[in-house]
Amino acid sequence: MTPAIELVDVHKAFGATPIIRGVNLAIEPGTRQALIGPNGAGKSTLFNLVTGKYPVSSGRIRLRGEDITGRRPYEINRRGLSRSFQVTNIFPRLSVFENVRCGVLWSLGYRYSFWHRADNAREVQARTEAVLEQLNLTGRRHVPAGVLSYAEQRALEIGITIAGGSDIVLLDEPTSGMSRSETEHVVQLIRQVTAGKTLLMVEHDMGVVFDLADRIAVLVYGEVIAHDAPERIRANPAVQEAYLGLPQGVA
Amino acid sequence: MSTPAPATARPLAVGRVARTGRLRAYAPWLAAAVVLVALPHVIRTPVAVPIMNQMGIAIVFALSYNMLLGQGGMLSFGHAVYFGLGGFIAAHALNLAGRDGLYLPVPLVPLVGGLGGLLCAVVFGSFSTMRAGTVFAMISLGVGELMAASSLIFDRFFGGEEGITTNRAKAPLLFGLSFTRDGEVYYLIAFWVLVAAAAMHAFSRTPIGRMANAVRDNPERAEFIGYSQRSVRYVSFCAAGLFAGVGGGLFAVNYEILTAENMGLTASGAVLLMAYIGGVGTFMGPVIGAVVFTFLQSMLSDYTGIWLLYLGVLFLATVLFVPTGLAGFLLLHAPAWRTRRLAGLIGPYLAAAAVALVAAAGVVGLLEMVHFVASAETTRVTKRLFWVSVAPRTLTPWLGFAALAVAGGLGLRWAAPRAAAAFAEANRPEPGR
Amino acid sequence: MLQIAFFSVLNGLVYGMLLFMLSSGLTLIFGMMGVLNFAHAGFYMLGAYFAYSLGLYLGFWPALVLAPLLAGVAGAAVERFGLRRVHRFGHVAELIFTFGVALLIEEAVALLWGRPAKTYEVPAVLDFTLFRAFGSSFPAYKAFMLLVAVAIFLFIVAILTRTRAGLIIQASLTHPGMVAMLGHNVPRVFMIVFGIGSALAGLAGVIAGPVLGTFPGMAQVLGSIVFVVVVIGGLGSLTGAFAASLLIGIVQTFAVALDVSVGDVLMALGTPASASAALHDVWKVTVAQVAPIMPFLLLIVVLMVRPTGLFGTRET
């Protein structure tokens, strides 16, 4: 089966500093996978490479078999891949409703249209409402996104990402900075919105990782040292040494 | 998660809201049309109509500028290029109509101007919109200076130093309507102001208009939801150029002359001032700014030679203290208006306004006297200032105005915090909500 | 021909070094604070006017020292009471603010000194011919201008590379946040740099006023060119500002001296100019007429091809 995302011998250096040192990774479609690793391993950099924010120094990246190396972010997004950001990256002066609606517009074919009224486009409005429901933000729809609470903004961040209906979703530390209960809500949300899609997420919260992920990839110093099912990753001595710590018995 | 409302209940509610919503949406435009038609009958002073014509043109120009600055986050120092070029093209077209029989009645001339502005924006925008921010501002400055300098080279199109003149009386008639008198031109301008404003407002509600706001707020994020920030900016830029060209066409019809100055940095700076003083964050802001600016420009220049200095001070004061502009300042009071707590603001605001006026009178007096002394008018001894004759070369008026300024300033230090406190009080969320 | 070449190079050098005096201040301010100071040429104008007025009472040489200081103080005041407040609204707001300051300076100058040009003249002691060559003379005052500009250049280089303050400034040029973390009072450094940049502009005004004219529009005339220089050279790069200043100074001076038309050039290249009326305007344009536009054409081309400028590393 063609992998949803495939990285082939990808290298990335910033100036003289190599960050990604030859990553080979294939993400199977329809799976939920997590990318874990110590700080500075290059997880966000890998996301930025796949989504087109940074160009690779060498290697190839494929989306459903199509080579997308060097393409601009919007070109990649139009091919069905969207991502969220670790540092909340929303449209602060637009309302919550409008934030989500912007995520919907391209996918429903509105492009650069100046001959439609966005308010009257029924499918756009319906889809936006549906996403707002899932985010539990329907009551906050007219609030400017910049004044939302942190957890609400993180939820909106995910909402904008999935609003367009891309079937490959990349989430960058979706639960960072959240309390226990907020994390549980977000995990529920993620499970709901990525049903039947391909998910790759960067996470530090091991509870979330083992809860959601079908497979886990471990990135250390720019190299993938393991890519396997959660139990085998947990038991992998190299992973334990590099990241998880010594085994303390069964969780 | 809350349970969604039954699907059947929604369409009915939406339908009813839509009908009343549509009425509410169209009402302001109908009201504006009524006001525009009635205005020359209400204000009957002879000088009013030319000034209102000037305001109308400024409104269109300022609204088109706000498509760039307020809607798109693009600061341009060269927007007058599209206004001017649209005007030149319209003037040439009108001349062709008069001389060579091109069927172009006067009411359609602004449309020609708009197409001209659009064409130029398509050409210049192809490289201007590659980047945003400071680089965009610098390119716009470069294009503006380029066109201003080119005007001396391309004599035939720009008419050299005298510019291009045209005559609306020579054009073919449409439905027998002629536009020879200022009063008749007023209705033409009013019509086009309404049409252009409605079109620009509608543009802001289209998908591209919404994405322009998104790209303004977060261009990087916009790319990750499928939009090329560069393409969004380009479309905004072309639309803004089109409406600036409409303004230029109106200018050509109204004044029947275009010069290179209409394209230059002064005109570009003026529209920036207009839009910013009025408030770039709202649709009505530039309208207010255009009206205020034109009013000050035409009225003040009769009374004082340093009106541009006052405008500069007003502009800087807006940037420093009221960056949301006049419209933004008014909007700040919307929550208090809704909860009907504006009454408590009247007293403190009046007090602050009164002392501010005293301070302003003092400062204005001092500045006017400086102007009088510095402009070396040795033949005159007295100057009429605030309906009083003062002798600026004596000490008394200086002390008087300085006292006013100081008193007003001290009064402001007392009154301003009280006004701010009253504002905070009016906006305090009610207990139990 | 040799006369044109020789004097164009000399005059171009003088003009270029003058542009560098202006653009160095602008580059320092931009490099450190990210603000493209629209009002920079306004301080140039203030320097010229201060020197004119001070010169009437104190003579040229005291004015040469005092006027730039006054301009510097004015600049520091603008930063302290104005720019600092606007800083948090972003770069666009800062640019709008400095535009307003530029307008205010121009109107204030017109208010205080009037609109007609001032007879700010070359001081008698420098008003002689330095040498004659190829039939034309080179005034000593221009050599003086060149001397001052080169001295300023060496002074800037020395301060930046050999003093502690200079190292801090250099560091702030590329890593302002880090410098703040290291405990330096960055707002105060900003104010001082803004003041020094304005003083440099003022000094340029003091020495250029007699040659380029002292009138309220003088800021606008030179302001745009200085922007072009700074952007072409590379925002935040002093080397770039230096290179671009000389480049534009010499190219523009050469272009003004050449009285050949575009049509002549085309014919020399072998492509005959057509006689069609519409393009007639284009063909009869002389290089001298195109000279004022050339910096802006260059600006647009450079910004399209290399938005960071020739030597720069930052875009905004």
If you write DSSP's letter for every residue of chain C in order, what string do you get?
-HHHHHHHHHHHHHHHHHHHHHHHHHHHHHHHH----TTHHHHHHHHHHHHHHHHHHH-HHHHHHHHHHHHHHHHHHHIIIIIHHHGGG-HHHHHHHHHHHHHHHHHHHHHHH-SSPB-----GGG-SEEEEETTEEEEHHHHHHHHHHHHHHHHHHHHHHHSHHHHHHHHHHH-HHHHHHTT--HHHHHHHHHHHHHHHHHHHHHHHHHHH-BSTTHHHHHHHHHHHHHHHH-TT-HHHHHHHHHHHHHHHHHHHH---BHHHHHHHHT-PPP--HHHHHHHT-BHHHHTTTHHHHHHHHHHHH-TTTTT-----
pLDDT recorded at residue B135: 83
Interface test with B, best of C111, C115, C232, C286 (most B CBs within 10 A): C111
Q: CATH top-level class for A5-244?
A: alpha beta
pLDDT at position B11 over 60 = no
In this structure, of B230-239, B294-303, C41-50, C265-274, the range with the lowest mean pLDDT score is: C265-274
pLDDT at position B95 over 70 = yes
Determine, for residues A83 and B224 on separate chains, whether the beta-carbon distance falls below 8 Å: yes
Residues whose CB is less than 8 angstroms from the CB of residue A166 and which lie 6 or more positions away in sequence, other chains included: A77, A80, A81, A82, A107, A197
**Is C231 within 8 Å of chain B by CB?**
yes
Q: Pull the structure tokens for residue A84.
A: 């969220």
Domain layout of chain A by residue ranges: 5-244
Chain A residue with minimum CA distance to B213:
A94
From CA C121, how far away is CA C126, in angstroms rounded?
A: 10
**Is B373 within 8 Å of chain C by CB?**
no
pLDDT at position B431 over 80 = no
Determine, for residues B213 and A163 on separate chains, whether the beta-carbon distance falls below 8 Å: no
Determine, for residues B207 and A110 on separate chains, whether the beta-carbon distance falls below 8 Å: yes
From CA B267, how far away is CA B79, in angstroms rounded?
A: 8
pLDDT at position B12 over 50 = no
pLDDT at position C221 over 50 = yes
pLDDT recorded at residue C240: 85
| Contact yes or no for B375/C112 (Cβ under 8 A) | no
Specify which residues C129 forms β-bridges with: C139
| Contact yes or no for A243/A36 (Cβ under 8 A) | yes
If you write DSSP's letter for every residue of B121-144 in order, what string do you get?
HHHHHHHHTTS-HHHHHHHHHHHH
Q: Which residue has the higher pLDDT, B207 or C170?
A: B207
pLDDT recorded at residue B1: 39
Domain layout of chain B by residue ranges: 28-331, 334-427
Task: Identify the sign of the CA torsion B305, B308, B313, B314.
Answer: positive
Beta strands in A152-229 (DSSP E): 168-172, 198-202, 215-220, 223-228
Q: Mutual orientation of helices B343-374 and B395-427 as an angle, nearest 10°? A: 150
Determine, for residues A102 and B1 on separate chains, whether the beta-carbon distance falls below 8 Å: no
* Range C90-95 average pLDDT: 86
pTM of the shown model: 0.89
pLDDT recorded at residue B290: 96
pLDDT recorded at residue C280: 63
pLDDT at position B234 over 90 = yes
* Range B16-24 average pLDDT: 65
Ramachandran region of residue B57, left (φ > 0), alpha (ψ -120 to 50) or beta? alpha
DSSP H/E element including A61: strand A58-63
Q: Which portions of chain A are predicted below pLDDT 50?
A: 249-251
Top mean pLDDT of B26-30, B44-48, B247-251, C130-134 is at: B247-251
Chain A residue with minimum CA distance to B209:
A114
In this structure, of B139-153, B389-403, C71-85, the range with the lowest mean pLDDT score is: B389-403
B121-146: buried (b, 16+ CB within 10 Å) or exposed (e) per residue?
beebbebbbbbbbbbbbbbbbbbbbb
Indicate the pLDDT class of residue B73, thresholds 50, 70 and 90.
very high
Task: Identify the sign of the CA torsion B405, B408, B414, B419.
Answer: negative
Chain C residue with minimum CA distance to B152:
C289
pLDDT at position B378 over 90 = no
Render pLDDT for B237-287 as a digit per residue (tens, 0 to 9).
999 999 999 999 999 999 999 999 999 999 999 999 999 999 998 999 999
pLDDT recorded at residue A143: 92
Q: Which residue has the higher pLDDT, C123 or B311?
A: B311
pLDDT recorded at residue B174: 76
Q: Pull the structure tokens for residue B98.
A: 């008069």
From CA B189, how far away is CA B294, in angstroms rounded?
A: 15
Q: Alpha helix locations (H) across B43-132?
A: 48-68, 80-100, 109-128
Local structure of B151: helix, strand or coil: coil
pLDDT at position B155 over 70 = yes
Q: Chain A neighbours among B 201-230 (CB < 8 Å)?
A: 202-203, 205-211, 213-214, 216-218, 220-228
Facing residue for A102 by CB, picked from B214, B220, B239: B214
Render pLDDT for C19-49 as a digit per residue (tens, 0 to 9).
998 898 888 888 777 788 999 999 999 999 9
pLDDT recorded at residue C261: 66
pLDDT at position B13 over 50 = no
If you write DSSP's letter for every residue of B295-358 in order, what string do you get?
HIIIIIHHH-TTHHHHHHHHHHHHHHH-TTHHHHHHHTTHHHHHTT--HHHHHHHHHHHHHHHH
Indicate the pLDDT class of residue B2, thresholds 50, 70 and 90.
very low
What is the overall mean pLDDT for chain B? 86
What is the overall mean pLDDT for chain C? 82
Among C200, C212, C220, C75, smallest CA distance to C149 is for C200
pLDDT recorded at residue C276: 57
Determine, for residues B316 and C231 on separate chains, whether the beta-carbon distance falls below 8 Å: no
B232 interaction partners in chain A (CB closer than 8 Å): 112
Indicate the pLDDT class of residue B99, thresholds 50, 70 and 90.
confident
B205 interaction partners in chain A (CB closer than 8 Å): 117-119
Local structure of A176: helix, strand or coil: coil
Work out the end-to-end distance of chain C between its first and last CA atoms, rounded to an integer number of angstroms: 43
CA of residue C165 relative to chain centroid, distance:
24
DSSP H/E element including A209: helix A206-212
- Quote ipTM for the complex: 0.89
Of all residues in chain B, what percent carry a pLDDT higher than 70? 93
Residues whose CB is less than 8 angstroms from the CB of residue A72 and which lie 6 or more positions away in sequence, other chains included: A52, B223, B228
Domain B28-331 has CATH 1.10.3470: yes
Task: Kindly give the pairing relationship between strand A223-228 and strand A215-220.
Answer: antiparallel
